[in-house]
């Protein structure tokens, strides 16, 4: 059965809603994968809090999918919310299990010179008289 236009709109809205809900309960995947996160003495406690956030966010997202499905002829909202939540949880768990490391041959970021100049910044465009 092909998806209707309403089903596609619901999917987009559920993805956006899930992103916001997970962001409200959990830090970003970037933060979770960062050395800052993994080198803390409170790492174990932070992981427990992330997992609690995963549970709470999943409950809210799946409840939203269920509510949307109540007024549709199919359960696309419910199934989509379950899959979306699973993707977010898998992403968090992957970041926890695979922290970022520097890669060999990685390009080092530019550093400002000691005089406070910022050579990597482009100057702001100047207005030309008469334009």
Task: Tally Cβ neighbours within 10 Å of residue 3.
Answer: 13
What pLDDT, on the 0 to 100 scale, is given for residue 101? 77
* Cα–Cα dist 38/100, whole Å: 9
pLDDT tens for each residue of 81-129: 999 999 999 999 999 998 887 666 665 655 655 555 555 666 667 766 6
pLDDT tens for each residue of 37-76: 888 888 899 899 999 999 999 999 999 999 999 988 899 9
What pLDDT, on the 0 to 100 scale, is given for residue 72? 87
Q: How far is CA 32 from CA 48, 60, 107, 116, 120, in A?
A: 12, 22, 22, 32, 29
Q: How far is CA 114 from CA 30, 110, 111, 120, in A?
A: 30, 12, 9, 14
What pLDDT, on the 0 to 100 scale, is given for residue 120? 61
- Would you kindly state where each structural domain of the chain is located, as residue ranges? 5-97
What pLDDT, on the 0 to 100 scale, is given for residue 42? 87
pTM: 0.72
Query: Are the beta carbons of 7 and 74 closer than 8 angstroms?
Result: yes
């Amino acid at each position: 059965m092909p998806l209707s236009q309403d089903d596609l709109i619901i999917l987009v809205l559920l993805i956006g809603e899930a992103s916001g809900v997970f962001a409200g309960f959990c830090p970003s995947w970037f933060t979770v994968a960062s050395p800052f996160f993994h080198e803390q003495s409170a790492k174990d406690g932070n992981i427990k809090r992330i997992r609690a956030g995963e549970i709470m966010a999943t409950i809210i997202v799946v409840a939203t999918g269920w509510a949307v499905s109540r007024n549709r002829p199919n359960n696309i909202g419910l199934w989509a919310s379950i899959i979306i939540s699973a993707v977010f949880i898998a992403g968090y768990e992957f970041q926890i299990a695979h922290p970022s490391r520097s890669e060999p041959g990685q390009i080092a970021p530019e550093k400002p010179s000691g005089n406070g100049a910022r050579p990597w910044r482009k100057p702001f465009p100047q207005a030309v008289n008469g334009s």
